[in-house]
Amino acid sequence: MTSSHPAQGLDEVVHQRVRLGILTIAHEARRVEFGYLRTHLDLTAGNLSKHLSVLEAAGLIAVEKGYEGRRGRTWITLTPAGTTALTDEIARLKQLIARVETPTTTTDR
């Protein structure tokens, strides 16, 4: 029985470049403001909103709306499921990197 290739385990929701960036920043910050994500990921508000909707629907982030002074704010936090999904994705990526960096002894697979 052969084991599957690490690429088979990549999560389509998490692996997308922008969403991986959102999850990573939310993991680092614990709670991140919408404007910070928009600026640091160089996105339009609409584009970021779409990606946040996908992540929220998957249960990977929680979105909290509120006010700071008189200005409306939106904060994003990683859920426990989001932390697990990010950790799993990073582990798969590390497996892929190891396969590339480790010389193989056979050329046919």
Q: Is the dihedral of CA 50, 41, 15, 107 positive or negative?
A: positive
CB atoms within 10 A of CB 22: 28
The lowest-confidence range among 36-40, 84-88, 91-95, 102-106 is 102-106
What total number of domains does the chain contain?
Answer: 1
More confident residue, 96 or 109: 96
Residue 105 lies in a domain: no
- Structural domain containing residue 45: 10-97
20 within some domain: yes
In a domain, 102, yes or no: no
Give me the mean pLDDT over the 71-100 stretch: 93
What's this model's pTM, rounded to 2 decimal places? 0.83
The more confident residue out of 44 and 11 is 44
Q: Looking at residue 59, which CATH number applies to its domain? A: 1.10.10.10
Count of all residues that appear for the chain in the document: 109
Span 8-29, average pLDDT: 90
| 70 found inside a domain | yes
Mean pLDDT of 31-55: 97
Assign 3-class secondary structure to the chain: CCCCCHHHHCCHHHHCHHHHHHHHHHHHHCCEEHHHHHHHCCCCHHHHHHHHHHHHHCCCEEEEEEEECCEEEEEEEECHHHHHHHHHHHHHHHHHHHHHHCCCCCCCC
Distance CA 24, CA 93 (A): 14
pLDDT bin (cut points 50, 70, 90) of residue 2 is: low
Instruction: Report residue 9's pLDDT band, with 50, 70 and 90 as the boundaries.
Output: confident
Residue 5 included in any domain: no
**106 located within any domain:** no
